[in-house]
Every structure is written in structure tokens, then in C-alpha cells.
Amino acid sequence: MAGTSQHGKAFIRPKKNAHLLIIEARFHDDLADALLDGATSALDEADATYDVVTVPGSLEIPGVIAFALDGMAEGGKVYDGFVALGTVIRGDTYHFDIVANESSRALMDLSVQESIAIGNGILTTENEEQAWVRAKKSEGDKGGFAARAALTMIALKEKLGAQS
Ligand SMILES: Nc1c(NC[C@H](O)[C@H](O)[C@H](O)CO)[nH]c(=O)[nH]c1=O
Ligand SMILES: CC(=O)[C@@H](O)COP(=O)(O)O
């Protein structure tokens, strides 16, 4: 896979034991297993804890983060960061563009407007083959990448003094 590297220097870990929410879309079930495997392995390795919420498709992921933020504001469970996992594979219609673009747009809006740490592990590929290369922990490990990106954002939030 072109451009694959561990990007090791880009990742840092938070000082605190972070607790994250993984939201996984299972529209493509087997690929979802692979992404989740990578993400949970990365969080385990960093001694982070996590809950997992499952949704039907990637378009539902940002809404779940919004629900969790509402819950936190009401005294519910606190999450230091979020990991979004899903796979969008191009079909015959414009639906691909809607799911791929809108899921990421909403994640970016949440990230910037709510000042929250999000790792975006939603694959957007032309076909299943491309998706597998990116989802497998032993290959592209995009689930692991998204989890490490979320931990890095939590650490940067700590470093820059933002309140969680
Ligand atoms: N086609 C894909 C979808 N589509 C489903 C939507 O995400 C959503 O669940 C539906 O529109 C109901 O609101 N989702 C994916 O994650 N991947 C796809 O390839
Ligand atoms: C997200 C997609 O593109 C796909 O699942 C939908 O396929 P289609 O455009 O053929 O309806």
C-alpha cells in the first residue's frame, strides 16, 4: 500500500489514563471487525480504557458523539476522546459521496466546535480490496491509526491546557 508507514513521531500519549468511546459502523461487517481489532489493540497497548457503541452505518457515527456529549453535560459518563470506525465503499450512485463526505464533515465540525479529541478511522475506498489493505491490523491498520490519533489529540489538549 502506497505511503504506508507507522508515523511514529506524530503520535504522543496522554499522561492520564484516558477513557475513550469507540463508535463502529458495521455496514461492512468483516471490515468492521478488522478495524475494531486494530483500534482496541492500540488502546490496550497505551493502557487506555474504552467503551464500544455499534451503529448501522457511518452516517450515524457523529450523532452518537453528540449524544455522548449531551450525556457528559448532564453528569453522565465522561469520555476523553472518540474513535470513529467505518468503511464506505463506492457503489453505483451519489450515495457514496454523501456518506463519505458528510460523516467526515460532521466529525470535523464536532472536533473543532466542541473542542474534542476524535480519531477518524472511516475508510472511503473504491472497492473491497482497497478497504481490506487499509483495515487489516497487519497491513494499513487504520483502526489503530485512528485510535493513536485520538490519544494524541487528548495529549495535545492536556498539553495546551484545555479543560475536558
Ligand atoms: N453505503 C454505506 C453506508 N450507508 C449507510 C449510511 O451510513 C446510513 O446508515 C444510512 O443512510 C441510514 O441512516 N454506510 C457505511 O458505513 N458504509 C457504506 O458503504
Ligand atoms: C455507500 C455506497 O456507495 C453504497 O453502499 C451504495 O451503493 P449504491 O450507490 O450502488 O446504491
86's enclosing H/E stretch is strand 81-89
Distance (Å, whole) CA 122 – CA 85: 5
**In the prediction, which pLDDT does 16 show?**
83
29-45 vs 142-159: helix axis angle to the nearest 10? 40
Residue 96 Cα to ligand 2 midpoint, Å, equals 5
ipTM reported for the complex, 2 dp: 0.92
CA distance 57 to 53: 12
Residue 72 near residue 79, CB atoms below 8 Å: yes
Instruction: Tell me the one-letter amino acid at 10.
Output: A
Binding residues for 5-amino-6-(D-ribitylamino)uracil: 27, 58-60, 87-89, 120
Cell matching residue 124: 472511503
* Per-residue model confidence (pLDDT) at position 9: 79
- State the DSSP code for 9: G
The predicted pLDDT at position 164 comes to 53
Cell numbers found for residue 104: 467526515
* Residue whose grid cell is 493502557: 47
Q: What is the chain's mean pLDDT, rounded? A: 94
Q: Which atom of ligand 1 is nearest to the CA of 59?
A: 7
Look up residue 52 and give its three cell numbers: 464500544
Predicted local distance difference test score (pLDDT) of residue 79: 98
Q: Which helix (H) or strand (E) holds 71?
A: helix 61-73
Predicted confidence (pLDDT) per residue in 112-164, tens digit? 999 999 999 999 999 999 999 999 999 999 999 999 999 999 999 999 986 55
pLDDT single digits (tens) 69-89? 999 999 999 999 999 999 999
Residue nearest to atom 2 of ligand 1 (CA): 88
Name the pTM for this structure: 0.95
pLDDT at 92: 96
Mutate to test the pocket of ligand 1, among 27, 55, 98, 102 (most ligand atoms within 8 A of CB): 27
pLDDT at 15: 84
The whole-number average pLDDT for the span 38-64 is: 98
